[in-house]
A = this chain, B = another copy of it.
Amino acid sequence: MTAEKIALDAMGGDEAPGAIIDGAVAALEGEGSITADRIIIVGDAVAIDAHLSSAGGNPGFHVHHASQVVDMAEDPRRAMRSKPDNSISVAARLVKDGAAVGLVSMGNTGMVVAASTLLLGRLPGIRMPAIAITVGFTGRPMVITDMGANVDASAENLLHNGLMGGIYAQDCLGIDKPKVGLLNVGEEAEKGTKVCKEAHRLLIESDLGFIGNVEGGEIFSSKADVIVTDGFTGNVILKLLEHFSEVVLSKVAESALTAGVKFSEDVFGPVIRDLDYAAYGGALLLGVDGVVVIGHGKSDARAVSNALKQASRTAEAEINSHIIAGLEASGMA
């Protein structure tokens, strides 16, 4: 099991391929380190080899050439057709063919979702994959799913998100019997959209540890371990969270300057680390037949290293078998 390989898309992200390859090197060290022969670096082989040479040589990574690159803003469906040899699709095909057990990309999120869904396929019983991220505002991890894979989610999709998010929280984050909440505009069962009311009914009837509806502010509480939402709301929240801590912290810094209070890394460092959900690794695409970790385009080597280790841990935890078993046990398959 530990010998299984991870395909790493070298071409996605703002600092690709340099930061991506440096991340692979960083993943060889520290807690949860993986060996070089378990990493397949996918992308422009010449550029990859050149960067490895300049960084002291290839420590044993496999390099798999892909001749095309999908840009961050490119339309996924179009790119799937016009660039069949793009690094994301090539990485997904390595997983499909069994050469790798999972893939990691810091590239175009929509493209990673499309390529993974179309090339790996969905798990039996799952209609739509979902992106799960892990935040930790209270000091303990909380899974929010879906962060943008499926914007027009049905009640059944939300139920499946709850099941998949719960298994992820249990298997990979060590949360025993995770509490699952449905993001909504009020606590009462009759609140929210038609889809939310129906999802509430399905979740109540399930054995998923459903604690009821939770409101927007509960992301900062420990009321739920898993927050279920549609990909539209989740994506809006994700982008809001990314910007808000920056806004608040820059206002505090400015205000401190005006007030003549001396401010240092001692004060901001711990806050930024607390608010930095990237510390928990990349986003996980749940519901496809393989392990898919999607990182932020701004990922540095540390984030890439974390994402690789996360992919390895997730593969070892066999969450996909547990999702299939969970669907069957709940009569959802």
Q: A residues bordering B, Cβ < 8 Å?
A: 73, 75, 137, 148, 151-152, 183, 185, 188, 190, 192-194, 196, 215-217, 219-220, 229, 231-233, 235-249, 251-252, 255-256, 258-264, 266-271, 274-275
Contact = CB atoms under 8 A, between A and B. Distances in A.
Contacts of A194: 152
A332 to B, nearest CB: 24
Nearest to A191: B151
A259 B267 contact: yes
Contact of A259 (B190, B238, B264): B264
B192 A216 contact: no
A128 to B, nearest CB: 13
Nearest to A262: B261
Given A148-B185, A217-B242, A220-B247, A252 B271 contact: yes
B220 A185 contact: no
Contacts of A73: 188
Given A215-B239, A238-B216, A255 B270 contact: yes
Could you say which of A188, A237, A248 has the most chain B C-beta atoms within 10 Å of its C-beta?
A: A248
| Oligomer copy total | 2
A132 to B, nearest CB: 16
Contacts of A192: 151, 232
15 contacts: A73-B188, A151-B185, A196-B232, A216-B235, A217-B240, A217-B243, A219-B240, A220-B243, A220-B244, A220-B247, A255-B266, A255-B268, A255-B269, A256-B267, A261-B267
A-B CB proximity, top 6 nearest:
A216-B239, A217-B243, A259-B266, A216-B240, A216-B236, A185-B235
Given A233-B232, A236-B216, A271 B259 contact: no
Contacts of A261: 261-264, 266-267
Contacts of A244: 220, 241, 244-245, 248
A137 B243 CA distance: 11
A193 B151 contact: yes
Contacts of A245: 244, 248
